[in-house]
Structure 1
Amino acid sequence: MSPGDEHDYRGMDQGGRTDDPYSTLGGTRQTRTRLPDGDTATPHTRRPARSSRSLVTVIGIVVLLIAAIAFANRGGGNSDDEASGNGKKPGAAGPAPTGATGTKPVQGKNGTIASGFAHDEQGAQSAAANYAVALVSADILKPDRRAGIVRQIFIAERAGELETKFNQAYGQEFLDKVGLDQNGNAAEGMTYVSRTAPVGTKVTAYSASSATVDVWCTGVFGTAGVSSTNPVSSDWFTMTLQLQWTSEDWKVDSFAQKEGPAPVNTDRTASNADEIAKAVEEYGGFTYAR
């Protein structure tokens, strides 16, 4: 059924008065009134008042049409694609756009990171979105938290190697540059911010054992504080994660990051350091889903 379908109600009463300009679904309601001094050749007419029964009938038909259109719009998807999590319309070319599927994205958590993702494209996208958030979090800069994050996210064969690389990349030189001590903590009166929000995901390759997923992200990064030399600012970037299906879950084999796509900056007034620090403390993160 298409929302644009129209019905010709004039044919419902073949023997009726369809030539009457005031005919309705309930039949003719025309009334002719002759004035006392009127000309019989040109009688005066008026549009009749519709009865309450006729009005109820018309309203009922309108409600049914609206319900039918809403049902047609809701039921336009392909059941096979919906069941598989692809979300593609029949005949559509290219990857499906990111959108809510209504399927539960994850079965549990491993510490603060989601785990137990579905063994399909939707599960791979959900895993990639959640792992992108963890890889650019403030906790990854803390040596005592870093090892646990790496071992939760990466496949076992790569965890040790990548932990060493992360330790080198986030050494004391880097921590000094962003105003953190050797434990990854900001100075007293300061709050370090590194909060990422996935905007969308896209599968560029998929098989039962591996997947490549692009995660388009935005986020806020920097140190909030009156004397901060690294003020909190926003950024846009895309992270590409190579995933493998192992131990009944999606894990990262490798990842890369590039800038953008970034929108035009607005002229919105920036919040002060205290407001940013308070927001980071009061607003928690999410478990992200395809």
Structure 2
Amino acid sequence: MKIIFFGTPLIALPYLDFLHKNENIVASISQPDKPKGRGQKIEEVPVKSFCKEKNFPIFQPANLKEPSFLSEISNLKAEIGMVVAYGKIIPKELINIFPLGLFNIHFSLLPHLRGAAPIQWALLLGDRVSGVTIFQIGESLDTGHILAQKKIEIEEKDDAISLEKKLIPLGIQLLEEALAALKKGTPETKVQTGAITLAPCLKKENYKIHWEKSSIEISRQVRALIHNGAYCNLPNGKILKILKADPIFPAIEGDEALPGAMTSFERGKGFIVKCGIGSLRILELKEEGKKAQDAWSFLQGARLKINEKFF
């Protein structure tokens, strides 16, 4: 069975590697390379680098409806397409090329958390359960019939990195089972049922810490956004990204302090910041223009005073 893979970032690579080793994958489709960093240097997307290393075709169309591109894909005679974090809505002109269907591996229990950032939103919302869904792609976003689905528990200390590490092998196991059913011609699909929730692309405002919120909410934000870092500003205005923090609820001290104020420190560990409800123990962080470090080391050079405010 010939397969075409759609994917772009690092999280797609384990699935592409599995298909490359175990199935007849005839090509991959990724988003175009984009400028990155301060220098805006064009950088290859991870899936493209993998394909070049393994020496099989990679397409990076700017327009998925381009007739010449559609003709090339059609000529490959693939029975199915498999999508993992491709990053664009796929038009019906491309969907219809695959006689057995185009399928997406999605990191939530659909219809909960439809959209581009389900792992992050599961943590932001405080979900206790996550999972992987393989569904057949239609014309609407993440609405197709479910081919396979499995769930796992989200642990209290999970962040986006640790949750990804749990979901990736679960998804590969699910992919193996789904492909076996498709090869036998016995796939059983079901309509999505239950409450529909959304997981839209994250915006800059999602990363900004508002100390008026509870310590539990801010802790979730830190864990969900660890890849790029939830941030606040130091008293001098510099950006401070919080990488690891624990909620203290209710606050054990500093009840008279305003949200955002440093109320105390713990020698060798970090420092405590007052929140709207409770407090947050800051353990790891990254100051603007510097490397990530533990909060205690940062405090030695920062010369912050008790009751000084982050904002």
Structure 2 length-normalised TM = 0.19
Structure 1 length-normalised TM = 0.21
Q: Which structure's relative contact order is higher, taking Cα pairs within 8 Å and 6+ residues apart? A: 1
